[in-house]
């Protein structure tokens, strides 16, 4: 279905999903999503708060919820930094937040281009599902052309072909080995820096969703915090395992989340408040003095799903936020599964836009933009 063929009501609902971090579905939010996606447009009416919990409506909407669930949050989810507990430079925070484009990639099938399904049918996704940044080099998944596109710090582009078309996530270790998760076949392929296949790992998980490394730099395929597998050993995590050197997030209720840091001794807990409603919470990076995390707010009392996502920098000692930057999703044609990455002291955004794929550098600031309340007020005026 072409973008212009989508009715405005459904289009706005789908647009909201772009602001979701790469998380598991929250039960309450998913139920609401299913109902909102099936509601037909109706004449404007006077707005009034709706506190009734929406119920799941159809098997078809369950399928849609699965397709978008990567952007949503569950009750208790782990998303540890790509290089947790390493000695890295602190994230720099300016007076004002900044969003600057680093480079753009044209859509197409050439070696220096990237595939993008602009006219998607039958539930197909765009083909750009994830990316990773290591030492100022960007690695991007291209499911359409079945390749990994690599862009170095000077903008030079190269690529290598892969025999995979359902790639979900990508991770690059310090030796520049490239790990690619194919969740259609439940495997992870490990490639050398020059694109030679080095090893294939079977992943014994039901729908693995992402790759990461633990504090000992062991590469992990995971579905959620309690369901992951170490690639080299095949060992699975146990829900009752002893938690050490991990950073967890927890949904407490509709207006409160927690960040929990497990090191030595008692864990550190920091409250993360939500002015509207909990939408998502994920850790992007940690260093000895800071925790960098993404937070998504959802409008609490509107029939339409209205969301906003920021990346925050938190002081690890006292839990105070020292800066943030808003994620500008409004120009995205579709949000990739993983579209925010932190590499040492830099934050990057992967944004498939109308004229090409753009990678941005995000700089948190003491002063940053908030637009959620404006969106809510506009919606209420239009439906009053």
What CATH number does residue 377 fall under?
Answer: 2.120.10.30
Between the alpha carbon of residue 370 and those of residues 12, 57, 108, the distances in Å are 19, 33, 35
Per-residue pLDDT, 105:
96
Instruction: Reply yes or no on whether the pLDDT at 6 is more than 50.
Output: no
Model-wide pTM > 0.85 = no
pLDDT at position 117, please? 81
Residue range 325-341: mean pLDDT, rounded: 91
Is 56 in contact with 31 (CB distance < 8 Å)? yes
pLDDT confidence bin for 21, thresholds 50/70/90? very low
pLDDT of res. 125: 65
Instruction: Please determine, for residue 288, whether its predicted confidence score (pLDDT) is greater than 50.
Output: yes
Neighbouring CB atoms inside 10 A of 232's CB total: 11
Share of the chain above pLDDT 90, in %: 57
Q: What is the pLDDT of residue 175?
A: 95
- pLDDT reported for residue 134: 94
The confidence band for 99, taking pLDDT boundaries of 50, 70 and 90, is: very high
User: What pLDDT score was predicted for residue 15?
Assistant: 42
Note whether 212 and 220 are within 8 A (CB). Answer: yes
Residue 183: which domain range?
A: 3-382
Tokens coding 165 = 């078309």
Q: Give the pLDDT band of residue 206 (cuts 50, 70, 90).
A: confident
Q: Which of 46-50, 150-154, 237-241 has the lowest mean pLDDT?
A: 46-50
84 pLDDT exceeds 50? no
In the chain the first and final C-alpha atoms are separated, in Å, by: 31
Closest CA to 227 of 209, 214, 252, 253: 209
Separation CA 297–CA 284 (nearest Å):
17
Q: What is the 3-state secondary structure (H, E, C) of the chain?
A: CCHHHCCHHHHHHHHHHHHCCCECCCHHHHHHHHHHHHCCCCCCCCCCCCCCCCCCCCHHHHHHHHHHCCECCCCEEECCCCCCCCCCCCCCCEEECEEEEEEEECECCCCCCECCCCCCCCCCCCCCCCEEEECCEEEEEECCCCEEEEECCCCCEEEEECCCCCEEEEEECCCCCEEEEECCCCEEEEECCCCCEEEEEECCCCCCCEEEECCCCCEEEEEECCEEEECCCCCECCCCCCCCCEEEEEEEECCEEEEEEECCCCCEEEEEECCCCEEEEEEEEEECCEEEEEEEEECCCCCCCCEEEEEEEEECCCCCEEEEEECCHHHCCCCCCCCEEEECCEEEEEEEECCEEEEEEEECEEECCCCHHHHHHHHHHHCC
CB 259 within 8 Å of CB 283: yes
**Cα 141 to Cα 135: distance, rounded to the nearest angstrom:** 18
The pLDDT score that the predictor gives to residue 121 is 57
- Say if residue 283's pLDDT is above 70: yes
Give the pLDDT of residue 49: 43
Q: What is the pLDDT of residue 301?
A: 92
Q: Between residues 89 and 150, which one has the greater pLDDT?
A: 150
User: Across residues 32-61, what is the average pLDDT?
Assistant: 42
pLDDT in tens, 169-197: 999 999 999 999 998 899 999 999 999 99
341 pLDDT tier (thresholds 50, 70, 90): very high
* pLDDT at residue 82 greater than cutoff 80: no
The half-sphere exposure of 111 on its side-chain side, counting CA atoms within 13 A, is 5
Number of domains in the chain: 1
> What is the structure's pLDDT at 142?
95
- pLDDT-based confidence at residue 164 (cuts at 50, 70, 90): confident
Q: What is the dihedral of CA 11, 97, 72, 186, to 10 degrees?
A: 100
Beta-carbon contacts of residue 33 (< 8 Å; ≥ 6 apart): 13, 61, 65, 68, 72, 305
* Averaged pLDDT, 320-340: 92
pLDDT at 247: 86
Task: Reply yes or no on whether the pLDDT at 23 is more than 60.
Answer: no
Among residues 197, 226, 229, 193, the alpha carbon closest in space to that of 212 is found at: 229
**Is residue 97 scored above 50 in pLDDT?**
yes
Res. 220 pLDDT band, cuts 50 70 90: very high
Please give the backbone phi and psi of residue 73, each rounded to the nearest 5 degrees, phi first.
-115, 145
Average pLDDT, the chain: 80
Looking at the chain, the whole-number percentage of residues with pLDDT higher than 70 is: 74
> What is the arithmetic mean of pLDDT over 319-328?
96
For 52-56, 160-164, 261-265, which range has the lowest pLDDT when averaged over its residues?
52-56
Taking residues 362-374, report their average pLDDT.
Answer: 96
């Amino acid at each position: 279905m072409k973008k212009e063929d989508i009715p405005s009501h459904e289009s706005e609902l789908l647009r909201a999903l772009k602001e979701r971090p790469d998380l598991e579905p929250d039960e309450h939010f998913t139920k609401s999503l299913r109902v909102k996606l099936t509601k037909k447009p109706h004449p404007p009416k006077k707005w009034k708060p709706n506190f009734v919990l929406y119920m799941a409506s159809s098997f078809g909407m369950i399928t849609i919820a699965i397709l978008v669930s990567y952007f949503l949050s569950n009750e208790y989810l782990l998303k540890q930094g790509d290089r947790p507990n390493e000695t890295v430079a602190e994230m720099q925070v300016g007076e004002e937040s900044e969003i600057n484009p680093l480079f753009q990639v044209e859509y197409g099938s050439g070696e220096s281009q990237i595939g993008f399904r602009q006219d998607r049918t039958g539930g197909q996704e765009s083909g750009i599902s994830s990316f990773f940044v290591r030492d100022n080099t960007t690695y991007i998944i291209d499911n359409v052309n079945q390749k990994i596109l690599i862009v170095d710090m000077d903008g030079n582009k190269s690529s290598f072909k892969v025999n995979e078309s359902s790639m979900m996530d990508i991770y690059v270790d310090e030796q520049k080995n490239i790990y690619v998760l194919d969740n259609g076949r439940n495997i992870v392929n490990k490639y050398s820096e020059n694109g030679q296949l080095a090893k294939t790992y079977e992943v014994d998980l039901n729908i693995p969703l992402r790759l990461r490394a633990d504090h000992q730099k062991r590469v992990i395929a995971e579905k959620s915090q309690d369901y992951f597998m170490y690639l080299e050993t095949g060992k699975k995590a146990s829900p009752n395992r002893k938690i050490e050197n991990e950073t967890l997030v927890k949904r407490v209720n509709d207006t409160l989340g927690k960040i929990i840091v497990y090191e030595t001794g008692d864990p550190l807990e920091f409250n993360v408040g939500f002015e509207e409603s909990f939408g998502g919470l994920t850790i992007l990076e940690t260093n000895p003095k800071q925790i960098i995390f993404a937070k998504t707010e959802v409008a609490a009392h509107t029939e339409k799903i209205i969301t906003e996502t920021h990346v925050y920098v938190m002081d690890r000692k006292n839990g105070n936020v020292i800066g943030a930057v808003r994620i500008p999703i409004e120009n995205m044609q579709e949000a990739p599964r993983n579209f925010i990455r932190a590499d040492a002291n830099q934050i990057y955004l992967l944004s498939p836009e109308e004229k090409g794929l753009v990678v941005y550098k995000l700089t948190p600031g003491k002063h940053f933009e908030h637009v959620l309340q404006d969106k809510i007020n506009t919606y209420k005026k239009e439906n009053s």
